[in-house]
Structure 1
Amino acid sequence: MSALGTKTRLGYSLGSFATGAFGTVPGLLLLPYLTDTMAVPAAAAGAIVLLPKAWDVLFNPIAGRISDAGLAKRGSRRRSLLLGGLVLAVCFAGLFAHPGFGSVGGDAAYVVAIFFVCATAFAFFQVPFNALPAELTDGYHERTRLTTWRIAVLALAILVSGAVAPAIANSVGGVDGYRLMGIFVGVLIALGTLGVYFGIRDVPKRSQLQPTPKLRALLATMREWRPFRWLLAVYFVQSLGVATLLAGVSYVARHVLGNADLQSLLFAGFVGPALLVMPVWDKLGRSGGKLTGFRVASAAFALALIGLVFAQVLPTAVVFAFVALAGIGYAGIQVFPLAILPDLISAEEERTGATRAGITAGVWTAAETLGLALGPGLFGLVLASGGYLSSVDASATQPDSAVTAITLGFSALPAVLILAGIPLLRRSVLGTDRPSEPKEAGA
């Protein structure tokens, strides 16, 4: 069960079209959608983006417990993946449909309600999706290989959704542009869902462990599971940094670089390099170790963000060079924690004799969701502190203080958050204090 075939790697990885689209587009466009088409004040818009995600943080561990129970009953997590992904696809199109109730409060309430449903459906997809690597293979380096495939497809999904979605919204313009964009992204999510559902159908069912029967036993595991807590802390802090950066892309293109059409190019410049460097991160993980690769990626990402602090005065070409370096680092900080996680899950299941993949993925996804939700909210507060002026057509001329706030919220703030994860990357994250990481025979 160590080595996986190309069909299985690709099939599993196609699910990243669902996670990538939903993880990217709301963080990229929901805040400007609220501030610049509904005239929702920036601070309130940030709260609207946060509230449904806050619910998801609470619900994800429950979804993990449900997923573990489904695995014990049916020997597969595919049913949850399918239902969650398809409901998400339909509701995402509705999220940007703009009901036109005639009041800012009514329209904003509609967005909150639909976003709540989207977040719940996403939990039923993403939690089992994150749990699968621990069950698809027990190979230490095969999990890194599987994760690099997943993140490569994720980068492609982010590139497509993050570059094309703003292009659709901007080219059509206004409410109609957002509606068409929502339908496009909904189709991407549906295709990714069907891809992973059919892509892993031939994987043999694993021998079943029973799910943790009581909450007390689960809490005891989390208290004793120090490697997981360290890894989770790093991932949360860095997810918050990434989300803050993504929330600022639209504003940077329009108000710092002075051209809204550069939004898609900025996003492509950030994600595109990730597609090219996946083999490099895989090789570094094998030769230098997953932890070393994680540290190098974090440092590269932070260095690029520090350079972007000067985006207001740098030539556009230099800005894009720093964006590309940030994308290279971003790829690494996605690969390595997700490659380490299934190793920790397998060790803990061996120790306890109970299924841990689903509930662990639920807690993991909750932390990721919280970071991704807090990012736009945090950026919204940065906008408010700079005196950002909301409008219904993005035509308001912004004061210099708002432009400075946009620049710092896009660069310095996420740089601090990415750097904050590095001291947490101690060897105990791997679940071992040995000087070297495990190696497979023949690897």
Structure 2
Amino acid sequence: MDAPPAGPASVPGALPRRVHLGYALGSLATGAFGTVPGLLLLPYLTDTLGVAAGLAALLVLGPKAWDVLVNPVAGRISDRTGSRWGPRRPYLLLAGLALALLFAGIFAAPFGTERAAGAYVAAAFLATATAFAFFQVPYVAMPAELTEDYAERTRLMTWRIAVLALAILVSGAVAPIVVTAGGEGLAGHRWMGLFVASLIAVGAVGAFAGTRAAPTGQVRGSEPTLRAQLAVAGRNRAFRALLVCFVVQSAGVATILAGVNYFADQILRDPQTGATLLFACFVGPALLVMPLWTRIGARVGKLRALVAASLLLVVGVAALAAAPLVPAAAVYPVVALVGAGYAGQQVFALAMLPDCISWDEARTGRRQAGVFTGIWTAGETLGLALGPGIYGLVLQLSGYVSSDTGTAAAQSGTARLGILLGFTVIPALLVAAPLILLRHYDLPAAPDTGADQPVVAGTRTHEPPGRGVTTS
């Protein structure tokens, strides 16, 4: 599977609706895996296995950090894969099914709650993260090869983010319910692992089958070595700016996610339904505002829309710092505001990525979407890993007390303050700070990229409102 293959190549025009939906189904897998470990793995370690918060943070961070190394390799391998299904689709099926099986294994708990249990979770999570890399990287690479049309990429991402929001809603809201229905503790988490594994399997098979009608085209060469490919990606300044911004913002979002259970238990004082309600309020509005974000992006451009969505997310998260002073009923509408901002932040960042890839391909004539998306998903994975790590460190520093009973222990006022700050102020800073980097999102002019760019005086453009071109 090392010879340069025939596979999908960028094609202009609209895609069939079945390809939109089929591709989007893959977000059932990415959404479930991106959500549930960030939501439940840290509290599983601290409140069921009795692992200290600081050590639990390291156990969650380590396997995800490993993916930073694996993802670019997975991208290069998929770039050079030849099959009758194209270079990406085989991984949707094979890596996706492996991901489902391994995910169930994370929560199998064959060693009970002894010290070996923590080591087992780390090893199982490492294997699962590796399988996820080989699913996610080819999956994220596909849009740049499916169409060259600027608006069509936004539509494709809108479908994907809509299903992603649904996956987050179902996995994030239902998983805690399954834990409770399964008897809490080890037994409840085993049932939850099987439930989420089934969602992942449905998403993987659905994406594989649903993209069978995706367009394919001629062979396009890639750089001969991984080092050369990484160097090419590094020279794309717009890609670098977007990547760093998205990674830091992902860490902020993941910090929120890691704190949901703790926030529901200790701040809202609702351990039974609080986490589920938070998730419903976070994701439900995201589904409703997706068409609105699409129209906003078409009017002002993806870059400005990304900044606006990020700021909306920041304002909402910062406002949650007042949660101890207001009734719980007043918290949930603010969480809905956060969800609306999150939806736009995801849509536009992911829609801008193919623009960076397409410009680079037009410049070099080489197909290396897998390398770009390998680096991208490595960064995203790092951000998603840093979130629980940051939150676990905050818990450790604030004196959080772990438990091996399946129920959170009583916490001090200092610990509760740490829970609150880790859920509000810290993620707000992480989402807001990297927006300044988007000043460097300035793709040079290239045929049919349709990318968001600042207009330089004296330059002519016929781009839609909110987009311009610049020369370099």
TM tier relative to shorter chain: over 0.9
2:200 equivalent among 158, 168, 189 = 189
Work out whether 1:397 is the aligned partner of 2:410. yes
Please report how far the alpha carbon of residue 81 of structure 1 lies from its aligned counterpart in structure 2 after TM superposition. Answer: 1.3
Contact 1:20 1:158 (C-alpha < 8 Å) held by counterparts = yes
Where do 1:83-232 residues align within 5 Å?
A: 83-101=94-112, 103-104=114-115, 106-172=116-182, 173-232=184-243
The structure 1 segments of at least 4 consecutive aligned residues displaced by more than 4 Å after TM superposition are 71-74
1:396 aligned partner, one-letter code: A
Structure 2 residue 366 is matched with structure 1 residue 354:
yes
| Residue identity matched to 2:388 | P
Does the alignment pair 1:337 with 2:358?
A: no
Q: Distance in 2 between matches of 1:66 and 1:285?
A: 34
Cα offset for 1:316?
A: 1.0
Q: Deviations over 1:17-49 (max 9, x none)?
A: 000000000000000000111100000000000
Unpaired runs of 5+ residues, structure 1, are none
Letter in 2 for 1:154: L
1:433 Cα deviation (Å)?
A: 3.5
Structure in which a larger fraction of residues adopt helix: 1
CA distance in 1, matches of 2:192, 2:137: 26
> Does the CA contact (< 8 Å) of 2:357 and 2:372 recur in 1?
yes
2:4 corresponds to: none
Q: CA deviation at 1:303?
A: 0.3
CA contact (8 A) 1:72 1:210 kept: no
Residue in structure 2 matched with residue 434 of structure 1 by the alignment: 455
**How many angstroms apart in 2 are the aligned matches of 1:7 and 1:415?**
37
The answer (yes or no) to whether the contact 1:289–1:437 under 8 Å persists in 2 is: no
Equivalent of residue 33 in structure 1, options 44, 56, 60: 44
Letter in 2 for 1:139: D
- Deviation of 1:242 (Å): 0.2
Q: Compare 70-79 and 338-347 and name the one that shifted more.
A: 70-79
Using the TM superposition, give the Cα deviation of residue 396 of structure 1 relative to its aligned residue in structure 2, in angstroms: 1.5
TM-score (norm 1): 0.96
**Shift in Å, 1:318:** 1.6
Given that residues 103 and 193 in structure 2 are in contact (C-alpha distance below 8 angstroms), is that contact kept between their aligned partners in structure 1?
yes
Contact residue 71 and residue 77 of structure 1 kept, 8 A: no
CA distance in 2, matches of 1:355, 1:403: 50
Distance, in Å, in 1 between the alignment partners of 2:408 and 2:312 is 36
CA 315–71 in structure 1, closer or farther in 2 if over 3 Å, else same: farther
CA RMSD, Structure 1 to Structure 2 (Å): 1.6
> Is residue 2:401 matched to residue 1:380?
no
Q: Within 5 A, what are the aligned runs for 1:59-78?
A: 59-70=70-81, 75-78=86-89
Q: Which amino acid aligns with 1:259?
A: D
Deviation at 1:246, TM superposition (A): 0.3
- Asked if the contact 2:264–2:270 (Cα under 8 Å) also holds between the matched residues in 1, the reply is yes
Query: Number of residues paired by the alignment?
Result: 439
Kindly state the Cα deviation for residue 438 of structure 1 after the two structures are TM-superposed.
3.5
Taking the aligned partners of 1:164 and 1:437, their CA distance within structure 2 comes to 48
One-letter code aligned to 1:77? R
**What is the deviation of 1:320?**
0.6
Q: Unaligned stretches of 5+ in structure 2?
A: 1-11, 445-452, 466-472
SS of the counterpart of 2:324?
Answer: coil
2:469 aligned residue? none
The offset of 1:421, in angstroms, is 2.4
The answer (yes or no) to whether the contact 1:340–1:430 under 8 Å persists in 2 is: no
Per-residue CA deviations over 1:6-26 (Å, capped at 9, x if unaligned) read 111000000000000000000
TM, length-normalised to structure 2: 0.90
Residues in 2 aligned to 1:196 and 1:268: alpha-carbon distance in whole angstroms: 25
**Aligned residues with identical type, % of pairs:** 54
Amino acid aligned to 2:228 = A
Say if 1:4 and 1:142, in contact at 8 Å, map to a contact too: yes
- 8 Å CA contact 1:140–1:438 kept in 2: the answer is no
How far 1:74 moved relative to its partner?
6.1
